[in-house]
């Protein structure tokens, strides 16, 4: 049998397996792992690239290594989490015959503890990103369920004002409490704009070669 024929046979076998309903839960866990790895790499790589070249010093090799490490960590953690979450969801459904709302919470809690429980800068960014989203989500859910009255006016301007007021107060007087990447961004915006020597580091560059 030629190589092409063997490849066709292999693809047919794999595609047939993918159509088997009895393996669907396990296959969904595997594809979740794949999607977690791909999505983690897609969103972390460009972010790490920009932040590293904007704010980090070091050789090109060191910068590329930092970008690769951040991308790998984000991709791996998201893949592990999706795998754990979907696996526990499938297990609970099999044990109790169907899914309940509590299953999602329990599976995600276990995955969050195991995968995102380590206190490092990648996990910190991801967890804080999620925190802001769930606060919005819980606020909307509380209004929908009638636990809090629906605002008569759009509360977003107040939210924006308080958010920016607090973050700049923390930056100016308690900077160490903010995440390092946020400190770097705000230093660039608010501190570095106070320093210049001539037109080169006023308009063209942020810092002159001597400062670097």
Look at residues 96, 117, 138 and tell me which one is the last residue of a structural domain: 117
Give the residue from 95, 117, 139 where a domain finishes: 117
Question: Torsion over CA of 64, 65, 67 and 71, rounded to 10 degrees?
Answer: 140
Mean pLDDT computed over 170-195: 92
* Each residue's pLDDT tens digit, 64-106: 999 999 999 999 999 999 999 999 999 999 999 888 999 999 9
Position with higher pLDDT, 30 vs 181: 30
Is 89 in the same domain as 169?
Answer: no
How high is the pLDDT of residue 191?
Answer: 93
Residue 144 falls inside a structural domain? no
| Per-residue pLDDT reduced to its tens digit, 140-175 | 999 999 999 999 999 999 999 999 999 999 999 999
Q: Which domain holds residue 95?
A: 1-117
Residue 194 lies in a domain: yes
Closest CA to 29 of 103, 92, 87, 109: 87
**In whole angstroms, what is the distance from residue 63 CA to residue 52 CA?**
6
Which has the minimum average pLDDT: 69-78, 129-138, 190-199?
190-199
Cα distance between residue 182 and residue 189, in whole Å: 11
Same domain, 110 and 173: no
User: Measured between alpha carbons, how far is 205 from 199 in angstroms, rounded to an integer?
Assistant: 9
Domain-embedded: residue 141: no
Flag whether 150 is in a domain: no
pLDDT at 15: 84
Which pLDDT value is given to residue 30? 94
The answer to whether the beta carbons of residues 30 and 90 sit under 8 Å apart is: no
In a domain, 79, yes or no: yes
Same domain, 54 and 108: yes
Give the chain's domain count: 2
In the block, tokens 């503890």 appear at: 113
Q: Is the pLDDT of residue 210 over 70?
A: no
Same domain, 2 and 93: yes
112 and 168: one domain? no
User: Do 59 and 163 fall into the same domain?
Assistant: no
**Measured between alpha carbons, how far is 99 from 93 in angstroms, rounded to an integer?**
5
Structural domain includes residue 68: yes
Taking Cα atoms as reference points, which of 76, 72, 71, 80 lies closest to residue 29? Answer: 80
Give pLDDT tens digits for 11-50.
Answer: 877 888 888 888 889 999 999 999 999 999 999 999 999 8
Per-residue pLDDT at 162: 96
* The pLDDT of residue 206 is above 90: no
């Amino acid at each position: 049998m030629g190589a092409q024929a063997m490849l066709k046979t292999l693809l047919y076998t794999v595609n047939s397996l993918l159509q088997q309903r009895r393996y669907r839960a396990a296959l969904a866990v595997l594809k979740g792992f794949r999607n977690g790895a791909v999505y983690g790499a897609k969103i972390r790589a460009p972010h790490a690239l920009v932040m590293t070249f904007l704010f980090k010093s070091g050789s090109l090799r060191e910068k590329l290594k930092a970008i690769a490490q951040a991308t790998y960590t984000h991709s791996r953690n998201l893949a592990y989490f999706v795998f754990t979450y979907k696996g526990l969801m499938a297990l609970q459904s099999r044990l109790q015959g169907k899914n309940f709302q509590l299953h999602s919470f329990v599976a995600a809690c276990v995955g969050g503890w195991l995968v995102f429980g380590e206190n490092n800068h990648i996990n910190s960014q991801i967890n804080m990103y999620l925190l802001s989203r769930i606060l919005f989500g819980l606020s909307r859910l509380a209004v929908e369920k009638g636990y809090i009255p629906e605002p008569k006016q759009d509360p977003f301007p107040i939210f924006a004002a308080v958010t920016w007021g607090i973050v700049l107060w923390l930056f100016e007087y308690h900077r160490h409490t903010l995440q390092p990447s946020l400190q770097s961004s705000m230093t660039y915006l608010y501190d570095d704009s106070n320093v210049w020597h001539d037109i080169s580091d006023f308009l063209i560059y942020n810092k002159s070669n001597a400062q670097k």
